[in-house]
Structure 1
Amino acid sequence: MDVVLDGIFRQNVTYDYDSDYEYKDDLEPKNSEVLIPLLYSVVLIVGLLGNGLVLAALVWKRRFWTISDIFVLHLSVADVLLLVMLPFLAAQSSQTCGWCFKGFVCKITGAAFNINFYCGIFLLLCIGLDRCLSMAHARRLFSQKRPALAHISCLLVWLCSLILSIPDWIFMGARKDPSHEKLLCVHKYAQSQTDWRLKSRLLHHMLGFLLPAAALIICWSCVLLRLQHGLKSLQKVISIKVNLSLVALFFLCWVPYNITLLADTVRSRPGESNDLSVDSEGSIKTALVVTSALGCVHACLRPLLYLGLCANFKKQILGLLRRAAADSERSLWELGVGEDVLHDRRREGEELKQMTGVDHQIPSAQC
């Protein structure tokens, strides 16, 4: 019996697996459709609960508000504004059609994302300037005797944030993603508007991130240097610890996104009309998605930081849960914003009197 194998080995046919099965296009949507909506859902639940407790504690403490309470209120409002927009971002990642809402909702969502960032960094800068002046020059930018200045500063922060978000209100819209053939809520620029894209990016990089971040670093560097050579009271150390934790948390969540966005801006070529977040290279595009999600995570972490570092906030929450009246003249957040230097010295004097009083009472008790 003759076995003929010539027909088998002569057939020289190559099979292109990549043409029939795209690993990259198959796996990336599945991962994003599951992980990002799940992350946004967790951030939404934790963030609303945490910021709800913060706002409830402020309302419960309604007779006497410190300057720190004012700034914490505006920080929480900015976080809640971003949190209520997260369901739209989660729906964009999970639905096959991508962005299935109206264009005006897209503008609001994009603006809320940047307004949260701008308000966060500008409000922290106000706190840092107040602490720097109090440590270096024994003066206060804000005072409990003049709370109107703190309210005006917060309103100016919101106004500046709205002005910096004008490009989002103008250019945000639904645009088809060429890689996955679905609509995404991104910036849209026409051929005649390529200069506006670069101008809006430079406005964000310079006025929204680099200059405020540099000012924050300078302020807290001066505070730390002054603390090493000055009086190290326990109250000041605690307040500086809380403030530095807030600044470090903000930088940890938002610096990766801004560095990625800056790299994306530098990589762009003049004359490109499409938005960078859609037509970017795969690595930069993925990094933008991941780092923007990390920035959204920041909206739920600040209340957890208050709960872990601020003892007065814990007591206020316990009193709130027990429905006990807890009106207090002390700050809940240990930020030390607007506290007068004379008040600190008076408190230190009272503590010294109590210590000396105890020292005099001990010998008499032994006799």
Structure 2
Amino acid sequence: MMGAAKSVSDEQPWWNDISKEFNETYDSDGNFSYEEGDVCDVIDGTKFEAVFIPTLYSVAFVVGILGNGLLLGVLFQSRKRWSVTDTFILHLAVSDVLLLVTLPLWATQYASSRGWEFGTGLCKITGAIFTINFYCGIFLLACISFDRYLSIVHATQMYNRRNPWVVHASCLLVWFFSVLLSIPDWIFLEGVNNDRQSRTLCIRNYYKFNLDVRAHKIATRALYHTLGFMFPSVVLTFCYSCILLQLQCGTKGLQKQRAFKVIIAVMAVFFLCWTPYNVVLLVDTVQLNNNTGTCETNISLSKALTVTSSLGYLHCSLNPILYAFVGVKFRRQLLDILRSLGCKLKSTVKLESRRSSVWSDSGETSKSIAI
């Protein structure tokens, strides 16, 4: 593997190690080929990424920054009345914003013919920030669903205003664990020159330590599949399934309907955003482990990973809509802010509960279904 010409890996931010370094050689035109002799033209894939990635990342950045910015503004205005859930939402919004601000740099890498132009230092910082906030967002979603589960199904308040340190400790633990998961980025990420394409890319360079590249890729992907998708999927599915079963026994028709819609939306958006990428990545990982696949297959998988991973990044742009914009209190406070700025608006929103959080879940009331 080390004897072959080095091609770049991890061309997408964080876990997307698309190109296959092992068993590759190059022809006289700079196209890579496999040992079987199949010649692969990577120019088509590069052109596709140069158009698709900057476009979708720009949309995710604008929508996500606006949505999370409004959410943070409302949270700031109501900071004296924060509930437990509002604290989780605050950390989730901050996590999403920090992840989103890295997207323009990744988009620039693909839009520019020179690739990554920001140096190794910023490469490490940007990659680590991306990893930290991706995992932090996923874990916070799990915390929110678990808090809902305890409150609605068991009428138990793990977090309450009498012990505010518990929720803060939980959030700090999530951030700390996410930072630990970013350690490989601080070690391996760097700007690497690709002489054949005359570009520099921010990638994980395993070669500098003479490591088994394929083994480390598989280990990284296994960690992501376990903690980045399977773990939150199990937690969200279990918690929300139990909540739905509990709500079926309730008697509040209107609130029940609203709760059903929000829960279904939360689960549907999470799985629609992340399942396609995980399926494609799993197929690519199996192929990587077995060292199989033709040039056409690998290029197709490369494009599929680009599309599905970009779809996954849109999830952090949708979080404000799912976790706050559906809230009655949030909409009322947002309208108040807009009116204070001089906007003339007619509100039909009625506040249902003084104790409900901005996120519209009652942080202190057990058996609440006003999700």
Q: What is the TM-score when the length of structure 1 is the normalising length?
A: 0.75
Q: Retained in 2: the 8 A contact 1:174–1:183?
A: yes
- Residues of 2 paired with 1:237 and 1:142: CA distance? 26
- Residues of 2 paired with 1:179 and 1:267: CA distance? 25
- Give the one of 176, 187, 196 matched to 1:170: 187
- Give the one of 353, 357, 363 matched to 1:331: 357
Please state if 1:115 is matched with 2:132. Answer: yes
Unaligned runs of 5+ in 1: 1-18, 273-279, 348-367
Q: Which moved more, 1:228-237 or 1:184-193?
A: 228-237
Partner residue in 2 for 1:213: 233
Q: Give matches, 1:9-20, under 5 Å.
A: none
What one-letter code is carried by the residue in structure 2 that aligns with 1:217?
A: T
Q: 1:248 to 1:153 in 2, by over 3 A?
A: farther
Calculate the aligned-residue CA RMSD, in Å.
3.2
What one-letter code is carried by the residue in structure 2 that aligns with 1:192?
A: L
Deviation of 1:27 (Å): 4.6
Partner residue in 2 for 1:182: 199
Deviation of 1:74 (Å): 0.8
- Residues of 2 paired with 1:271 and 1:28: CA distance? 21
Q: Which moved more, 1:242-251 or 1:126-135?
A: 242-251
- Residues of 1 paired with 2:197 and 2:289: CA distance? 23
Deviation of 1:28 (Å): 4.0
Which structure's residues are more often helix, by fraction? 1
What one-letter code is carried by the residue in structure 2 that aligns with 1:131?
A: R
Q: Give matches, 1:143-292, under 5 Å.
A: 143-176=160-193, 180-190=197-207, 191-194=210-213, 195-232=215-252, 234-235=254-255, 237-239=257-259, 241-269=261-289, 281-292=298-309
Deviation of 1:31 (Å): 3.7
Unaligned runs of 5+ in 2: 1-28, 30-38, 342-350
SS at match of 1:335: coil
Deviation of 1:176 (Å): 4.8
Deviation digits for residues 259-312 of structure 1 (CA, Å, limit 9, x no counterpart): 32222222214799xxxxxxx921121122222221222222222445752232
Q: 1:172 to 1:335 in 2, by over 3 A?
A: farther
Q: When the two structures are aligned, how many residues end up with a matched partner?
A: 316
Partner residue in 2 for 1:299: 316
- Residues of 2 paired with 1:177 and 1:294: CA distance? 27
- Residues of 2 paired with 1:179 and 1:311: CA distance? 56
In percent, how many aligned pairs have the same letter? 45
Q: Which moved more, 1:55-64 or 1:182-191?
A: 182-191
Please state if 1:71 is matched with 2:88. Answer: yes
Partner residue in 2 for 1:99: 116
What one-letter code is carried by the residue in structure 2 that aligns with 1:206?
A: T
Please state if 1:39 is matched with 2:65. Answer: no
Q: 1:56 to 1:248 in 2, by over 3 A?
A: same
Deviation digits for residues 65-94 of structure 1 (CA, Å, limit 9, x no counterpart): 011211111111011101111111111111
Please state if 1:340 is matched with 2:357. Answer: no
Q: Which moved more, 1:222-231 or 1:314-323?
A: 222-231
Deviation of 1:51 (Å): 1.1
Deviation digits for residues 130-164 of structure 1 (CA, Å, limit 9, x no counterpart): 22223332212222332221111111111111112
- Give the one of 140, 144, 154 matched to 1:137: 154
Q: 1:63 to 1:135 in 2, by over 3 A?
A: closer
SS at match of 2:80: coil
Q: What is the TM-score when the length of structure 2 is the normalising length?
A: 0.75
Q: Retained in 2: the 8 A contact 1:242–1:334?
A: no
- Residues of 1 paired with 2:217 and 2:90: CA distance? 33
Partner residue in 1 for 2:15: none
- Residues of 2 paired with 1:282 and 1:24: CA distance? 9
